[in-house]
Amino acid sequence: MLGAITGDIIGSVYENFHTKRKDFRLFLPVAFYTDDTVLSVAVADALLNGADFGRTIKRYAWRRPLRGYGPRFYRWMASPGTKPYNSLGNGSAMRVSAVAYAARNEEEALLLARRSAECTHNHPEGIKGAQAVALAIYRARMGKSKEEIRTTIAEEFGYSLSRSIDQIRPSYKTNLTCPGSVPEAIIAFLDSTDFEDALRNAVSLGGDADTQAAIAGAIAEAFYGGVPLEIAMRVWKKLPRSYRSVVLRFHQRHPTPTNVEQIAALTGLPPVPQL
């Protein structure tokens, strides 16, 4: 899950200041966590507590209301209940990473991904985007090769994953839908040489940088064995204490490749119980 948060924070600067270069500065002082992180932590919290996804997501969003949610999500936040709004946006895919660690098998990963998505994104493409990312992460953490991941996701979801980042980049523009951004984010991982390279690939598309880097980072964390320590420590320092608590508790119950306990100790920033 820290892989998704890392991608979000690094990509946050380039969401509005797009770049087609890979040699961008990885951490800028103004980098911050956005709605991708807020809702990723919310999904993890719901899984930890066996809580309703919709109500937990809405509670988290209200506590951090200025983190860049889309207009339709804001209207959903303001609504009295949790009725979904048939979105096919990539918000369902950006927040799903915790599902792949809580799931005991691929079938459960797909089921939990659907449930985490459909409380807002109940459009078939919104559900499909979340399921594709969850399955890619799950298969990566099970030690599958990139080609096995590519083949499975392409066959299961009909995504075109045969293109390269270099082929996509020149003409690619921001697309906030699952079908227009999730395949490219997955390719950013597939074309990478290590965790950092996956994020650089995603950001260099010049699109929805924070969300696509969150997706690529989530898969890369599982595949490459965690977020590199130096990067993870810088990310940890940018998180609210209550978020660090959820991330640590989730790691303790559903071990993730990144050693969150070590990061907390090295930074001197242990989490505190969530309010």
Mean pLDDT of all residues in 56-77: 95
Residue 269: what pLDDT?
81
pLDDT band at residue 201 under the 50/70/90 scheme? very high
String of b and e for 238-253 (b: at least 16 CB within 10 Å)?
A: bbbebbbbbbbbbbee
- The DSSP-derived string for 154-174 is HHHH-----S-HHHHGGG---
CA distance 206 to 208: 7
Q: Give CA separation, 228 vs 2, 147, 217, in Å.
A: 11, 23, 11
Q: Where are the alpha helices (DSSP H) in 70-105?
A: 71-78, 91-94, 99-102
The pLDDT of residue 273 is above 60: no
Residues 177-198 have pLDDT tens digits of: 999 999 999 999 999 999 999 9
How is domain 2-225 classified at the CATH fold level?
A: ADP-ribosylglycohydrolase fold (1.10.4080)
The pLDDT of residue 35 is above 90: yes
Q: Dihedral sign, CA of 80, 84, 90, 93?
A: positive
**For the whole model, what pTM was predicted?**
0.96
**Contact of 2 with 227, CB cutoff 8 Å:** yes
The pLDDT of residue 137 is above 90: yes
Q: Domain ranges in the chain?
A: 2-225
The pLDDT of residue 45 is above 50: yes
Residues 120-134 have pLDDT tens digits of: 999 999 999 999 999
Q: What is the DSSP letter of 64?
A: S
Residue 274: what pLDDT?
45
